[in-house]
């Protein structure tokens, strides 16, 4: 998979692409990340990429020209899935991460300022938000998308590190996990996990998942119950 990111702050992606699982996925050619600083594409003498809003109002608006020029400079942009990250988009979910992990080429536009010139939207397929809050810019949101998509690309995460039991995959949050030591400051690992009885262990895991989901995410719990016709 190839992902091009249109951003005014490519340095923000350092660390993200040089560490841990992302770095390994890039090294193994499972994903290629290409950062495009669209300021370099502006026709403006002073390298401006924003301007005052027509009709007045607070803040600056991202101009269409630099974004368009940067976009069409990307090889194969016509066939790529073109996404804008913004708080106005549809919410990113685990389901969406799986869907997007099958796409060969994605282009993500990170915005700043008060908003985008509406005509920018004509060149993109849709808009994605990472949640109901506003960030100072789209870079963190783009990284969230890229991370969430990349980790579910087959072979990025080994079987041992599997994501099959991730929270959300079955509309439930994950059950608790324990590792050694068996006792820490008097806190004991639940007995059921130590007896090797897989049926009992699985029942315990499901019960804990249900308990946690009901408590902290009643919306998900309801969805799970409905999905299981209960």
**Between β-strands 50-51 and 61-62, what pairing exists: parallel, antiparallel or unpaired?**
antiparallel
Q: Does 130 bind ligand ADE (CB under 6 A)?
A: yes
114 makes contact with ligand ADE (CB under 6 A): no
Assigned token pair, 109: 């536009």
CA dihedral 141, 144, 146, 149 (to 10 degrees): -130
182 is catalytic: no
Told to check if 115 binds ligand ADE by CB under 6 A, we report no
Selecting among 37, 51, 127, 166, the annotated active-site residue is 166
Let me know if 66 is a catalytic residue. Answer: no
Alpha helices in the chain (DSSP H): 20-27, 64-72, 94-100, 139-150, 198-216, 218-227
Instruction: Give pairs for 206-212: CB < 8 Å, separation 24+.
Output: 206/175, 208/175, 208/176, 209/172, 209/173, 209/174, 209/175, 210/172, 212/173, 212/174, 212/175, 212/176
| Region 41-100 residues binding ligand ADE, contact defined as CB under 6 A | 85-87
Options 117, 138, 143, 156; binder of ligand ADE; rule CB under 6 A = 138
| Selected range binding ligand ADE among 18-26, 43-51, 127-135, 153-161, rule: CB under 6 A | 127-135
User: Token digits for 97?
Assistant: 């991460």
Of residues 2, 24, 39, 151, which has the active-site annotation? 151
114 is catalytic: yes
- Measured from the CB atom, the residue of 110 and 172 that comes closer to ligand ADE is 110
Which residues, numbered 141-200, are part of the site for ligand ADE (CB under 6 A)? 141
Residue nearest to ligand ADE (CB): 141
In 35-138, alpha helices (H): 64-72, 94-100
Query: For residues 100, 102, 104 and 109, what is the CA-based torsion angle, rounded to 10 degrees?
Result: 0
Q: How far is the CB of 90 from ligand ADE (least distance, A)?
A: 10
- What's the closest the beta carbon of residue 21 comes to ligand ADE, in angstroms? 22
Q: Per CB under 6 A, which region of 53-61, 67-75, 125-133, 215-223 contacts ligand ADE?
A: 125-133
- The contact set with ligand ADE (CB under 6 A) reads 85-87, 129-131, 133-135, 138, 141
Q: Which residues are known catalytic residues?
A: 87, 114, 151, 166
């Amino acid at each position: 998979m190839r992902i091009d990111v249109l951003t005014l702050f490519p340095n923000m992606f350092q660390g993200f692409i040089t560490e841990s699982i992302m770095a390994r996925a890039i090294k193994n050619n499972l994903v290629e990340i290409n950062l495009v600083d669209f300021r370099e594409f502006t026709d403006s003498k002073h390298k401006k990429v924003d301007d005052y809003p027509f009709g007045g109002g607070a803040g600056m608006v991202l101009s269409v020209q630099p974004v368009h020029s940067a976009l069409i400079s990307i090889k194969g942009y016509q066939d790529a899935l073109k996404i804008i990250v913004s708080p106005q988009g549809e919410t990113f979910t685990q389901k969406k991460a799986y869907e997007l992990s099958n796409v060969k080429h994605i282009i993500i536009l990170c915005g700043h300022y008060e908003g985008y010139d509406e005509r920018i939207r004509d060149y993109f397929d849709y808009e994605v938000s990472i949640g109901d809050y506003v960030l100072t810019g789209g870079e963190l949101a783009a990284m969230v998308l890229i991370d969430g998509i990349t980790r579910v690309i087959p072979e990025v995460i080994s079987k041992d590190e599997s994501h099959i039991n991730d929270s959300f995959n079955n509309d439930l949050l994950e059950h608790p996990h324990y590792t050694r030591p068996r006792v820490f400051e008097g806190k004991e690992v639940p007995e059921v996990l130590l007896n090797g009885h897989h049926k009992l262990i699985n029942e315990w895991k499901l019960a804990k998942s249900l308990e946690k989901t009901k408590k902290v995410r009643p919306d998900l719990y309801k969805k799970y119950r409905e999905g299981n016709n209960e």
